[in-house]
Amino acid sequence: MKYSGLAQEFHQLLRNVERVTAGQAAVEDWGSAPRQFGVDIVPRDGLYRRGRFTFKFSLHDQYPQYPPRVVCLTNIYHPNIDTVDEYEGEICLSLLDEWQPTFTLEDVIIGLLFLLYHPNLEEPLSPFFEPCMNWEEFAEKVRLSLQGGVVEDYYFQRNQVEEGELHDGTGPRATNQEPVAMVKPRVTNQESVPMVKPKGREQCGHRDVLR
């Protein structure tokens, strides 16, 4: 996409993102040539309610012929987002795998929000998960990870936005505070969580587009 077309789409995103996500997402940290930028998402409901999740978008020179590369910068316990393995925040999102040039940046952000509301336990990407995990166990571990605690031998920083920050009309980030950073695993005498090669890993073929 020529810069003029990209700039037009990006400015449309800035205008519309709060409306199309019901105030649950905001664009952050973009430059004069918006080929890299951040998106903060704070779900208002679901298992990840009040968690703040930062995603980094990198656009190919030939976008939209190629999908954007999107990684999650926030450590998250989610079956379809891998922030603790060597894949550095990779996301398994069917919209990116089945990308078409008619798709937009708005579509991707809505897809990320959908992924937070509807995690897919049957085809996990993260090594924490196997398809046999039941929903109740999963929900309890998500709750613990957001409150701040050890899950599967990894320590998750507390990640909870205060109620007053959700509806102030400024998008999900109400202050200039840094997003919740990725954290290293807790040091224990146990072996680290083994790498599981789930079905979802094979299906997510978009990760190498920009490498």
The residues annotated as belonging to the active site are 92
37 contacts 27 by C-beta, under 8 angstroms? yes
Nearest-angstrom CA–CA distance, 40 and 115:
14
Q: Residue 10: which of 53, 63, 47, 55 has the closest Cα? A: 63
At residue 180, the 3 state secondary structure works out as: coil
Find where tokens 């090669």 sit: 197
**Helix segments in the chain, DSSP class H:** 3-20, 94-97, 105-117, 135-147, 163-166, 199-203
- DSSP letter string over 189-210? SSPPPPPP--HHHHH-TTTTTT
Nearest-angstrom CA–CA distance, 67 and 24:
23
Nearest-angstrom CA–CA distance, 111 and 96:
9
137 contacts 131 by C-beta, under 8 angstroms? no
